[in-house]
Structure 1
Amino acid sequence: MPHLKRFASRGLLFLFAALWSVPLLWLTATAFRPKALALSASFSLDLTLQHFAAVWAAAPFGQYYINTILIVVSVLAFQMVSVTMAAFAFARLRFYGKSLVFLLFLAQIMVPADVLIFPNYTVLKELSLLDTKLGVMLPYFASAFGIFLLRQTFLTIPSELDEAATMEGYSRWNVLWKIYFPLARPAYLAFGLVSVSYQWNNYLWPLIVTNSVENRPLTVGLAIFALSFETGAQWSEVSAATLLVVTPLLAVFLLFQRQFMNSFIQSGIK
């Protein structure tokens, strides 16, 4: 009986995985097949790279890649510093109103990002940061989710390590970066995965605040390309462009799948 339940659960997992992979397989097949066979149900081994060449020549995807990588890396770097310092303060420091301030941070997790679009846009307009990479990145330099995740991780680290490090002459800054940071690597990896995937796929906010090619990320560039007059219903080119956007994240996940899963498990994310 237990073997039957295990077999049934695995069968359901494989079924859901197969259903999830259907759009990706269709996208890949359409991107590599000749245009005449793009929507054909017949099987064929005819493959071509012409769609990718046409897409790369028709839109500045090279610039979009540079913009996206710069935004993703910069946001992650700022978040790592800000959430680390805030989480350490909530976990180990004592100050007036700490519980109330932490509750306010937790409340931000329940507020959808789309609700803050108008006030953020107004602030950027006052600062003359519209249509800039900094304007795209600025609302994400801090993360309530990251602060909560790292605070919970820091609380599991024995406080005796702080006392021992202080007796050795370590400052709080050294304690943070030489003890807490290495011990919380699984949590950092889990948060890094969430941050990178979110910023790479972020669409609505960059669409609103960017107007130039020099500042558009891949998601906005792909949408503009897909809706352009030149492409229209040419599914081969649209599929090739979409594959160019999603391939980096898929490659990273496939290369570091085991590390990602272990980091989520060790960080307490179920």
Structure 2
Amino acid sequence: MRKNQIPVLTAGIILALIWLIPLVWMVGTAFTEASFIMSIFPKAKPTLDNIKYVWNAVPFAQYYLNTITIVVCTYGVQFVTVTMAAYALAVLKFKGEKLVFLIIFAQIIIPNDVLISPNYMTLSDLGLTDTKLGIMLPFFGSAMGIFLLRQNFKTIPRALAEAAVIDGCNTFQVITNVYVPSAKTAYISFGLVSVSYHWNNFLWPLIVTNSPENRTLTVGLALFAKSKEAVMQWANVCAATFIICAPLVILFFIFQKKFINSFVSSGIK
């Protein structure tokens, strides 16, 4: 190891510990009796009582179903919309192509929260407040997804598409048989971004929904943390947080290599 790499490595380790300590404390507290939560290394045996209590005290099963439905349906629609847009920007040549791409790219910089007011007014006029469709509708398009796939599509040799056309494929078949399979890693990376964002999205579902039938996990967690069942019970709050965070952490560790490689390669194409 070079001497000039030691400070960078040390700083990385320190930052990793700063990030990990709260996570480790949260996981440990979720599986520890309430009387031991203030101890860094509690001697109590691990218990699932906190998880069971939280799961029964709050309709987390309903919140899970709502969140999974929203996440899957949103990504399903995004898969189609970003593929079509990315193909048009990467392959087709038309007047104003660069301007359209710049406008789409600029949307990455604009936070979604800026559009909450006009989006809510539109949903209210359409009668879609307090519905799952209302939560999903503003996110059926994704500037990040279009950018990521466009960069990936531009690296695919035109000869592959031309060969498919010679074999009798139409435009739709070229996209589904050539471009989509070649961009599998990009789709996985975008899927992780989309799933994590909508899984953790809090403000928009909080504003749009009123009933438990349409609430997401994050909104349910916030309401539970303020409820009488969780007052001063950090073990229960941490257990609820663990229930929400665990699937995303597992998903990221499974696909982390493809996720990182896709973004690195997209940045240099």
Name the TM-score, length of structure 2 as normaliser.
0.94
Distance of 1:31 and 1:101 partners within structure 2: 48
Q: 2 CA distance for matches of 1:86 and 1:36?
A: 55
Distance 2:54 2:263 in 1: 36
Aligned counterpart, 2:50: 51
Give the distance between the partners of 2:39 and 2:162, measured in 1 at CA: 69
1:1-270 alignment, distance < 5 Å = 3-41=2-40, 43-268=42-267
> 1:82-101 CA deviation, whole Å, 9 max, x = no partner?
00001101111233333322
Tell me the alpha carbon deviations over residues 12-49 of structure 1, each in whole angstroms, 9 at most, x when there is no partner.
32222122100011111211111111223463142221
Moved more, 63-72 or 10-19: 10-19
Q: Which amino acid aligns with 1:90?
A: L
Task: Report the residue type matching 1:22 in the other structure.
Answer: I
For normalisation by structure 1, the TM-score amounts to 0.93
Query: Residues 152 and 123 of structure 1: is their aligned pair in 2 closer, same or farther, counting only changes over 3 Å?
Result: same
Q: Distance in 2 between matches of 1:197 and 1:65?
A: 14
Q: Is the 8 A contact 1:186 1:264 kept in 2?
A: no
Taking the aligned partners of 2:218 and 2:181, their CA distance within structure 1 comes to 34
CA distance in 2, matches of 1:199, 1:162: 34
Deviation string 1:105-130 (CA, Å, 9 cap, x unpaired) is: 12222221111001100110111100
1:41-86 deviation line (CA, Å, top 9, x unaligned):
4631422211111111110001111111111111111111100001
Given that residues 186 and 267 in structure 1 are in contact (C-alpha distance below 8 angstroms), is that contact kept between their aligned partners in structure 2? no
Pick closer, same or farther for the CA change 1:9–1:99 going to 2, 3 Å.
Answer: closer
SS in structure 2 at match of 1:267:
helix
User: How far apart, CA to CA, are the structure 2 residues paired with 1:102 and 1:26?
Assistant: 44
Counterpart CA distance in 1 for 2:147 and 2:120 is: 26
Structure 1 range deviating more: 8-17 or 142-151: 8-17
Post-superposition offset of 1:6: 3.5
Q: 2:50·2:239 contact (CA, 8 Å) conserved in 1? A: yes
User: After TM superposition, what 4+ stretches of structure 1 lie above 6 angstroms from structure 2?
Assistant: none
Contact 2:90–2:153 under 8 Å retained in 1: yes
- Rounded to whole Å, the distance in 1 between the matches of 2:74 and 2:268 is 22
Measured in 2, the distance between the counterparts of 1:256 and 1:184 equals 15
User: Aligned partner of 1:136: which letter?
Assistant: I
Calculate percent identity across the aligned residue pairs.
52
2: distance between equivalents of 1:58 and 1:176?
48
Q: 1:107 to 1:258 in 2, by over 3 A?
A: closer
> Structure 1 pair 112/269, CA: closer, same or farther in 2 (3 Å)?
farther
Q: Is the 8 A contact 2:54 2:240 kept in 1?
A: yes
Post-superposition offset of 1:263: 3.1
CA distance in 2, matches of 1:41, 1:97: 59
Deviates most, 101-110 or 257-266 = 257-266
Change (3 A) 1:260 1:102: closer
Q: Any idea what SS the aligned residue of 1:268 has?
A: helix
